[in-house]
Amino acid sequence: MADVRLVKVSKIFPGGVRAVDNVNLHIKDKEFLVLVGPSGCGKSTTLRMIAGLEEISEGEIYIDDRLVNDVPPKDRDIAMVFQNYALYPHMTVEENLEFGLKLRKVPREERKRRVREAAEILDIVHLLDRKPKALSGGQRQRVAVGRAIVRQPKVFLFDEPLSNLDAKLRVQMRTEISKLHMRLQATMIYVTHDQVEAMTMGDRIVVMKDGIVQQVDDPLSLYDHPCNKFVAGFIGSPPMNFMEGSIVENNGLVFDEGNIRVRIPAKYHTTLKPYANRKVIFGIRPEDIYDLSYGSELPNKEEVSARVEVIEPMGSEIFLYLTTGKTPFVARVEPHVKAQVEEMRKLYFNMDKAHFFDVETEKSILYEEHVREELAEVR
Ligand code: ATP
């Protein structure tokens, strides 16, 4: 068992910067939890407080029900993998892997056994006699992970471990760390600014901004039901499109951007009614916009016209950069769509996937409804 609990945890740096603000989190046993957010949002500081490398200004951290606020890092039964690997350059891979165990006075036989086992898991047995400078970036990263594995910790902490690798290797190591998680069945907390890494690796994802947790959810829920405009724009690539406009009553409810008008499905009317004749932010993901030759099966589609500004063929799909005349937006359409720059193009918005945000609070207007529905299902 190894769960980690953060109760009202804050970090205030000298000078008053509130880097982490009142964070409550329960990381479950064997869970892979990803902390994600833009640079400076406080994710590394949160991880470093769990590791014991940073003092906690307010609140409590528990590992397996043991309050660890004042427990030094080496006694927390955790292992951390850093972005810069932090390998000892004068030691061989084997010595690097063994070093932490020597410090802990683990007997020689046991040390050798654990090093061998970790090297086999990570496929670095043939590198054991090399020094770090004779390794590639990916191999160094593996040694850094190996050093954590030999410790057999209760909790693994990863701080942007893949950000020094090139794109291809990053994708490969991503899968390897996911496999490692399955094999070791350990609790892992992983920090990244890369939303794709977060989506593909996490059992659950914590999205942070300005030291504050915005939303904690599994990847698909986060994608389908972001609680606010920030989360909606942060998760997904290209990001969700946003358009400012008003909700007007016209035989039902209509979102009116000025140049385009789309009818809102009846299922959202009760929730959106209080917003009638008020400004809102409408959100729709690029993949929920269809060229007119596709998407005719959609039950709640709305036709719009927009001018094509840029066409980006990606092979498996095309990104169309369009404008309503007022608002730019992106559509991700089928690879065989024949679009022309400057033409007015007809498209469908899949209104079943529409999002609406309050202009002032930027909170999702439909989110609370979704949470209520989920709770009702559980009951
Ligand atoms: P990045 O991805 O850039 O590492 P992050 O989300 O991990 O960002 P943190 O490193 O946790 O962010 O930093 C959060 C905030 O705390 C930032 O505003 C940062 O400038 C500030 N901060 C971090 N360390 C210190 C420090 N030692 N003293 C003062 N402020 C700090």
Q: Ligand 1 atom 17: the closest Cα is on which residue? A: 40
DSSP state of 228: B
Question: Which protein residue has the closest C-alpha to ligand 1 atom 3?
Answer: 39
Ligand 1 centroid to 271 CA: how many Å? 39
Residue 374 pLDDT greater than 80, yes or no: no
CB atoms within 10 A of CB 359: 13
The set of residues, in sequence order, having a beta carbon less than 8 Å from that of 22 and lying 6+ positions away, is: 8, 9, 10, 58, 59, 212
Q: Is the pLDDT of residue 50 over 80?
A: yes
CA of residue 20 to ligand 1 center, whole Å? 9
Residue to probe by mutation, ligand 1, list 10, 12, 41, most atoms within 8 Å of CB: 41
pLDDT for residue 85 is more than 80:
no
Q: Which atom of ligand 1 is nearest to the CA of 41?
A: 6
pLDDT of 223 > 90? The answer is yes
Cβ atoms within 10 Å, residue 137: 15
pTM, rounded to two decimals: 0.92
For position 1, what pLDDT does the model report?
67
Average pLDDT score over residue span 186-213: 95
CA distance 119 to 104: 20
Instruction: Supply the residue whose CA is at minimum distance from atom 30 of ligand 1.
Output: 13
Q: Are 252 and 263 in contact (CB under 8 A)?
A: yes
What is the average per-residue pLDDT within 194-221? 95
Q: What is the mean pLDDT of the chain?
A: 93
Mean pLDDT, range 118-131, rounded to an integer? 90
Per residue in 265-287, pLDDT tens? 999 999 999 999 999 999 999 99
Minimum CA distance residue for ligand 1 atom 22: 19
Q: How far does the centroid of ligand 1 lie from the alpha carbon of residue 305, in Å? A: 44
User: Tokens 């095309």 — which residue?
Assistant: 318
pLDDT at 150 over 70: yes
Query: For a pLDDT cut of 90, what percent of the chain falls above it?
Result: 77
User: Which residue would you say has higher pLDDT here, 219 or 170?
Assistant: 219
